[in-house]
Amino acid sequence: MSDVVDVSAEQVRVRAALERQLQALESLVDRFEEALMGIPHAAHSEIWRGEAHRLYVAAVESLGRDLASADMLIRSAVSHTRRAVSVMADRVG
């Protein structure tokens, strides 16, 4: 009997923790979006000429692509956490 109580209490703690994680991740999504907006518009810049300009633009664009993938991962984490919270809610009420 006591085992059942312990498992349930643990699951309540996990659910609460997942809810805190969800809240923190949602806040992180906003902050990360701000960071993404701060990526310089290198393609239209007139910094340098020729090859140096091409390399700079390529480097900034590659950075942008990587950060876009990180953004997707964070959003995916939010989505997975939300689903987990929902599952835990079904389990522990």
Partner 1 sequence: MSGDIVVSGGGSSAVATEELFVQAQQLDALHARLVDCLAQLAVIDRVVASATLRANAPASAIAAEEDMDDASLVISRAAPRAAQLRLALEQSAEAYGFVERSATRLTQELAARFGWLFGMMLPSIALSLLPAIVGVAGGVAVGLALMPEQSRKALFAGLPEWFRKNSTALSDPRTVQLVRLLVMSVDDIGGGVLHLPPDVVHALGDEGLGIFGVTSSSAIVVGVGGMTGALAETPVTVQRSGTTITTAPLTFEERAARLPRGAAQVRIDRYQQADGSNRYEVYVSGTRDFSLVPGDQPWDMTSNMNSMAGGESGSYRAVAEAMRMEGIDADSPVVFNGHSQGGLIAAQLAGSGDYNTKGVFTLGAPAAQIEIPSDVPWVAVEHTDDLVPALAGNWQGSDPVLVRREVFADRPVSTGVVFPAHQIGPYLETARLIDGSEEERLVRSGREFAEFGGQSTTVESTLYSAERADRP
Instruction: Rule CB under 8 A: say whether 53 interacts with partner 1.
Output: no
| Token pair recorded at residue 28 | 């992180």
Q: Which is nearer to partner 1, 1 or 35 (CB)?
A: 35
Shortest distance in whole angstroms from residue 91 CB to partner 1: 8
Instruction: Rule CB under 8 A: say whether 57 interacts with partner 1.
Output: no
Backbone angles phi, psi at 39, to 5 degrees: -70, 125
Say which residue the tokens 């923190």 belong to.
24
Taking residues 11 to 50 in sequence order and writing x for each that binds partner 1 by CB under 8 A, - otherwise, the string is x-xx--xx-xx--xx-xx--xx-xx--xxx-x--xxxx--
- In this structure, the dihedral spanned by the alpha carbons of residues 63, 65, 69 and 70, taken in order and rounded to 10 degrees, is 20
Q: How many CA atoms lie within 13 A of 78 on its CB side?
A: 15
Cβ-Cβ contacts under 8 Å for 59 (sequence gap 6 or more): 42
Number of residues that bind partner 1 (CB under 8 A): 44
In the complex, the residues that contact partner 1 under the rule CB under 8 A are 7, 10-11, 13-14, 17-18, 20-21, 24-25, 27-28, 31-32, 34-35, 38-40, 42, 45-48, 56, 59-60, 63, 66-67, 69-70, 73-74, 76-78, 80-81, 83-84, 87-88
